[in-house]
Structures are given as C-alpha cells and as structure tokens.
Amino acid sequence: MRSLLTGTALGGILGAAAVGFAAMAWPQQEAVAPEDPRTATYQQIELFAEIFARAQRDYVVPIDEQEAMSAAINGMLTSLDPHSSYLDPEDFQSLQVQTSGEYGGLGLEVTMEDGFVKVISPMDGTPAALAGIKPGDFITAINGKPIIGQTLNDAVKEMRGERGTEIEITILREGIDPFEVKLVRDVIQQKSVTWRMEPGDIGYIRVSTFNERTTLLLEEAIDGIGRSAKPKGIVLDLRNNGGGLLDEAVRVSDHFLSGGEVVSTQGRRPIDVERRNATKGEVFKGVPMIVLINGGSASASEIVAGALQDRERALVVGTTSFGKGSVQSVIPLGADRGAIRLTTARYYTPAGRSIQALGIEPDVMVTQVRLTEEELAKIERWSEADLPHALENETGEKRPDLRKPDVQPPEGYEGEDFQLEQAVQMLREGRAAPSKLAMKAG
C-alpha cells in the first residue's frame, strides 16, 4: 500500500448498539427493537441489484456489464471526496508508471470539477507547459469529443498515448472564448528537480513533482550548488507542484532540517497517528532560505512548505497554496482486479495545523501580476475547498478571502518572474535570515 498526496462497503459499517425502551407505562405493549442500521444498507444493495438487472434486460442496446459495474464502484468512491477512486487494472498500472517518473502523455496534473477536467498545474518542459496551458484551465473536449460523462481516469487515459501522436484538446479559460490546442504527445520524463545559481551566489532549486526520482535529483542539485561555493541563500521553488508521493515529501524536507517532526498523519481512529521525523544533519545549515508557493502548490509540496515554515527554517513567499491536506492510500485488490485510491488520513504540519481546504498562507504575499482592488474582486478562486465533495477542515475554519498582496509588480513591469526576483532580492538583502524569521510580514 503506497501513500499518495493523490474490501466491501459492508465491511466498514458498524452496527450501533440497539437502545430499547422499557415497557413500564404500557405493560400490555411489546418492546420493539429499533431497526439495525445495516438493514437500510442491505436494502440499498438489493435496490442496486434490481436496477442492474433491469438495465441488463431492458436497456435499448446490450450493456457492457463490467464497465457498468466499474462505473458504479467509482461513483461510490468519488462521492466521498475528490481524490478517492477505483482504478481498474489498466489504470492501476498507469498510476505505477506515472509515479516512477516516466510515461507517454502531455504532462498535466489534473482533477475533475463540474464534469470537466481542471488543470492544477502543467509540468515543467512538457507539451502542456510549452503549449501555454495554465493552472485553472478547464479541458472540455478531447479530439472534439466532449468530456462530460467521463470519469477523470477515462479522460486521463485518452490524453496519454505513444510519443509522437497528436491530440487536440478544447480549453475553457476565464474571460475568453473556448479554444482548441493541438499537441504532440511526448515521453514525460519527469525531471522533477532542476537547479541553477542566481547572481549573488543564490542557489535556486525547482521541484516540479514528487516521484520516485525526486530525492536522488535533489541530492544532485545540492551537490552542484555546494561545488560552486557556500551559497548566500537558497530558493526552493514549489510553485505549480501538484504533489506526489508522501515519502518523497518527507525526504526532501529532511535534507533541510536537523531532526524533529516533518509531518504527522491522523487516520479515522484516534490511535491511527503516525509521525514522520527528520534525521540529523541538514544541508546548507544556517544559510537563509525561501520557499516559493502559489495556488498550484498542492499536497506533498504543501507538506514541505508547512514543515519548513513551522520549523522556522525558511520564509514562505508567494500566494496561498491549493489546500489539499489529505493522504490517499493505493490499496491493491488482487490479481486482475485493480486497486482503490482511498483517502485514509489527514496530515498535519509540525505545529499541528491541518491545511485541508485552507492552504499554506505565505509569510510574505507576493503576486506575479499587479492587481487593483477591482481586479482582485473579480478573480475566481480555485482551490481544494472549491472541489465537489471536498473534505472540510475539521476546525470549521474557512479558506481566507483573497487580499491585497504585501508586494506586487510596479506599474509597467516587464520582467519574467517577479516572485523569484523578489525572493532573490530578499536573500541578498538579508531579509530572510533564520534569525529574522520572527519578523515575518503579514
């Protein structure tokens, strides 16, 4: 069973203790035990069997029985939350390939919303990113065929394929008419970590996803930066990082911490608590560090940002993250039966915060574009809290409204990456030194 930051129903149903009323005032009446709560479930299963039989017998054309059953199972799971689903054997194999870091496709982190595929983030250097697809875009059709009625797994399956094959997707983007984008599938070799030195001896590390190769590539980046000279600052860029493997998020955090908690997870029962701790020996100890996040930073990237923020190892800069504070376990169902991806726990930052439906709030809010009050009011927010059936934060707290940023580009700004420029400038000027983290802007 593998944990991602991506049995029968009857087995999980517990009967409540029957509570009877003593027949004291009306001794002539017999006490009637309340109905066992499982009875209603058995009745619903009988209803499902009857409906399935009707469809088999009376539908206008013969139905694909296995496909119908898979859809029914998936429907039950997707009604729980946006991240639980059934994976048939082909989907299960595809997921295993994806987390290994190489597969044929477009390079998109996606979810399902209002019947359409919604882009969480395009992966760096992939056909999707090069074509200009943006976080928040909706994919409404694939090769002219509307997505409405398909599951997320079906849509993803259609977008994947052999290298060199063409695909056309229809994009719905806020404020403009729908448009088509033609892409050529490629082998998505997720080079999940890249690095370079910025002027002023500032090391820049970009982590685009958390797959099985992320830690290895991070160590190569650390070695490369360390060979140049001891850096005067480190930028860890997690923007548009849609998440991935929990273990990799812990290992990445571990490199920048010396002991202590990274994250804890809490399952359904109070005893289902697991704490993940860092080992001794952090890299670039004492070197000021900034973590960049935005609305496309989700799940595993939020674990890293939250750990480094709570442990006061780094200043978090950018905009509020996506807010996916749950852990999914992939549970194989046996030979040729696929698997289920099931939300089995919430995770908490070292300070005990659940960021589910809230996100990580940056210490310094910096936007990429300049926003007036009027433009800010018109922005349509998209986050975990806005997904159908999303888990609420158990504290009852709601995601904060959009607010004016602490820093935004000046009028007429023509640079390429204002957030990164600000992070580098803060490090050069000593405004992100560990000793000054108590002086966070807010």
% of the chain exceeding 70 in pLDDT: 89
Same domain, 330 and 262: yes
- What pLDDT score was predicted for residue 16? 28
Active site residue 324: yes
CATH of the domain at 130: 2.30.42.10
**Mean predicted confidence (pLDDT) in 289-294:** 97
Whole-angstrom Cα distance, residue 192 to residue 219? Answer: 12
Active site residue 310: yes
Considering the domain boundaries, does residue 218 fall inside one?
yes
- What pLDDT score was predicted for residue 230? 86
Residue 360 has pLDDT above 50, yes or no: yes
Same domain, 175 and 203: no
Domain edge (last residue) among 156, 188, 220: 188
Domain assignment of residue 362, given as a range? 190-439
Same domain, 179 and 251: no
Active site residue 299: yes
Residue 11 has pLDDT above 80, yes or no: no
**Mean predicted confidence (pLDDT) in 376-388:** 82
- What pLDDT score was predicted for residue 433? 65
Same domain, 354 and 425: yes
What does the DSSP assignment read for 62-90? ---HHHHHHHHHHHHHHTT-TT-EEE-HH
Residue range 217-265, pLDDT digits in tens: 999 999 999 987 789 999 999 998 999 999 999 999 999 999 999 999 9
Considering the domain boundaries, does residue 348 fall inside one?
yes
Residue 210 has pLDDT above 80, yes or no: yes
Catalytic annotation, pick one of 124, 137, 310, 363: 310
- What pLDDT score was predicted for residue 125? 84
Confidence of residue 110 (pLDDT cuts 50, 70, 90): confident
Which amino acid, 432?
A: A
Catalytic annotation, pick one of 297, 301, 324, 326: 324
Domain edge (last residue) among 170, 188, 206: 188
Same domain, 129 and 202: no
Same domain, 245 and 299: yes
Q: Domain count of the chain?
A: 2
Residue range 119-150, pLDDT digits in tens: 987 888 889 999 999 988 999 999 999 988 78
Same domain, 249 and 332: yes
CATH of the domain at 417: 3.90.226.10
Domain edge (last residue) among 188, 206, 241: 188
- Range in 18-22, 76-80, 163-167, 418-422 with the lowest mean pLDDT: 18-22
**Mean predicted confidence (pLDDT) in 309-331:** 96
What are the residues whose beta carbons fall under 8 Å from the beta carbon of 280, sequence distance 6 or more?
258, 259
% of the chain exceeding 90 in pLDDT: 63
Whole-angstrom Cα distance, residue 110 to residue 119? Answer: 5
Catalytic annotation, pick one of 299, 326, 354, 383: 299
